[in-house]
Amino acid sequence: MNKEKIICRLCGKTKHKKDKNWFYFGTFNINLKTNKYFYRIIFDKSGNIKKLKDGMIATKKIKNKEYDKKAKPAMIDYWECEECYHE
């Protein structure tokens, strides 16, 4: 029996991993200083996401002013409870 607790990253509820109705989205790095660049999504005048000819989303590359070569990643597992997932 796995007793590891998980936390909903939106509302803060905690449950055991074995409980059902929880949604896992993956592991993410939350230390933004490890990213040399960010990518901003470009929108058209009507507020829709602009797409390239090949169907990819149009982005603009932006240099991260807080980039630190020595920064270490801070990894989290992103979970959501059923209530937050369906909102």
- The whole-number pLDDT of residue 1 equals 38
- The whole-number pLDDT of residue 33 equals 97
Dihedral-angle region of residue 70 (phi above 0 means left; psi in -120 to 50 means alpha; beta otherwise): alpha
| Distance separating alpha carbons of residues 81 and 23, to the nearest angstrom | 6
| Distance separating alpha carbons of residues 23 and 15, to the nearest angstrom | 12
CB 7 within 8 A of CB 13: yes
- The whole-number pLDDT of residue 58 equals 96
In DSSP terms, 39 is beta-bridged to 61
| Distance separating alpha carbons of residues 75 and 21, to the nearest angstrom | 23
Across the chain, what does the average pLDDT equal?
A: 91
pLDDT in tens, 6-27: 899 999 999 876 777 899 999 9
Section 35-53 average pLDDT: 95
User: Where is pLDDT greater, at 30 or 17?
Assistant: 30
pLDDT in tens, 60-80: 999 999 999 999 999 999 999
